[in-house]
Amino acid sequence: MTGSTYLDTILSFHRRRAENDPRSLNDLLEFIPEVASRGFSDRLKQESGLSVIAEVKRQSPSKGILRADLDPSLLAQEYAVSGAACVSVLTDTEHFSGSEADLRLVRNTIDLPILRKDFTVDPRDICDAKIMGADCVLLIVSALERSELIELHELAIDLGMDALVETHDEIEIEIALGIGAKLIGVNQRDLKTFRVDQTRAIRVAKEIPQGIVKVAESGIKSPEDAKALAAVGYDAVLIGEALVISENPSQIIKELKEL
């Protein structure tokens, strides 16, 4: 891309949408359901061995449509039966063809904890996630100012949700730890170029102390990839594309669970 990066373009869209959103945060907070979270982070900690967060993902900005006939309910059921610990659902419509409807469908289909995978830039995004049935939200360090991270992280916790704080390097891990994050992801995909570096999560693993739930994201395509991540202390792997394009996603999850 020339000029703006993938991340710039996506964030610009979401920030414009937030600016044009007439809804009041206080009004939204009144609509928050008093429903107990299903414990996203707790589920990852309770699992023996490496946990799998399986993703419902229709397309990506860099690769286009991944699976034209994707049925969120059927795919989520397959993930659950195969042993996934949690499910991630893309709700970004503009860039990933996801939707709130996809998350609600998955919520009504399975009992597993759900991550709303989206570009969170505003407190109302957290409220929306809770209202639509998510148990966890994504906070991307490179997409937010430190003050925004603190505000959004605190709100998620106050609403009984978990927050997966996504990092890409040692500096961002330090920032995540500084705001009190207990669930930290390392995304091996550079969100500026969308290129994947499969050694990134292994290189920075030592920067995340014990007691923090550690999630490796992107570029995990085989049991060998996952085994290497488990060996350096990761509690879970988040896998989307490899599962969505596979003719047998159940087999992939089962192989990962056997590590």
| Residue in 82, 97, 100, 117 annotated catalytic | 117
Active-site residue flag, 174: no
Give me the catalytic one of 51, 55, 88, 130. Answer: 55
Show the CA angle centred on residue 97, arms to residues 252 and 191, nearest 5°: 75
CA 105 centroid distance within chain: 17
Kindly name the residue from 88, 218, 241, 257 that is annotated as catalytic.
218
**DSSP code of residue 192:** T
- 117 assigned to active site: yes
Could you say which of 41, 51, 57, 100 is catalytic?
57
Given the residues 130, 217, 241, 257, select the one marked as catalytic. Answer: 217
**Which listed residue (41, 172, 187, 241) is catalytic?**
187
The angle subtended at Cα 5 by Cα 116 and Cα 205, nearest 5°, is 60
Q: Which of 166, 172, 214, 241 is catalytic?
A: 166
217: annotated active-site residue: yes
Annotation marks residue 20 as catalytic: no
Contacts from 189-198 at CB under 8 Å and sequence distance 24+? 189/217, 189/218, 189/219, 191/5, 191/6, 191/7, 191/140, 191/142, 191/143, 192/5, 192/6, 192/7, 192/8, 193/5, 193/6, 194/6, 194/60, 194/61, 194/62, 198/225
166 is catalytic: yes
Q: Which residues are catalytic?
A: 55, 57, 117, 166, 187, 217-218
